[in-house]
Amino acid sequence: MLQKSPAVSWKPAGYPRISSLAFVHPTAVLIGEVVIHDGAIIFPLAIIRADEGFPIIVGENTNIQDGVIIHCLKGGRVEIGRRVSLAHGAVIHGPCVIGDETFVGFRAMVINSRIGRGCFIDHGALIEGVEIPDGKYIPGLTRVSSQEQVSRLAGITEQQKDFAAEVLAVNGELKEAMQVIITSRDDAYPGQ
């Protein structure tokens, strides 16, 4: 569902802008000034709300998976870089920047933070109010909320880089296949 955001005292109404080379599943919800760049895919039930803070920008060839929520506080914005994966159920709450080629795992939360390029945020991690440099690994189910904690983070491994690249490749192919199904309405269950 695509919806304009209401005009309020701090901003005019805004509308989603989606590249013709991107794919947004019909059950995803985009409200307000959401900008989706070439090659991006927004999977079922993702919610991207630019009705309070704006804009929310999704970079080229990025995949926003099922159940992801992206929102922003008044006066802030969210920028998701190129070739980023936001896995199932992740929450991004801005103001926030996610650098290019970063992987954000299942149910991870990134709040009011700046994440560098090529980071790997494992499943269930909570990142709040910090700046994380390029190439860092954030372990699953951990909370990172101080720069002291950031200074102790390890770099990502080749295995993690390979995993992130594979997620991008698989989702890129899914994007192409889903576009065919949706545009041809070839989604009937066999036997119907």
All structural domains of the chain with their residue ranges:
2-184
pLDDT at 185: 64
Structure confidence by residue, pLDDT tens digits, 43-74: 999 999 999 988 999 999 999 999 999 999 99
AA identity, residue 32: G
Q: Does 76 score more than 90 pLDDT?
A: yes
Whether 52 is catalytic: yes
**Partners of 24 in beta bridges:** 42
Rounded Cα distance between 128 and 4, Å, is: 29
Cα dihedral 91, 95, 100, 102 sign: negative
Closest CA to 135 of 158, 149, 155, 152: 155
HEC states along 92-146? EEECEEECCCCEECCCCEEECCEECCCCEECCCCEEECCEECCCEEECCCCEECC
Q: For residue range 148-185, list pLDDT tens digits in order.
A: 999 999 999 999 999 999 999 999 888 888 877 777 76
From the candidates 52, 101, 148, 176, which is the catalytic residue? 52
Write the DSSP symbol of residue 154: P
pLDDT at 64: 98
Banded pLDDT at 188 (limits 50, 70, 90): low
User: 2-184 is classed in which CATH architecture?
Assistant: 3 Solenoid (2.160)
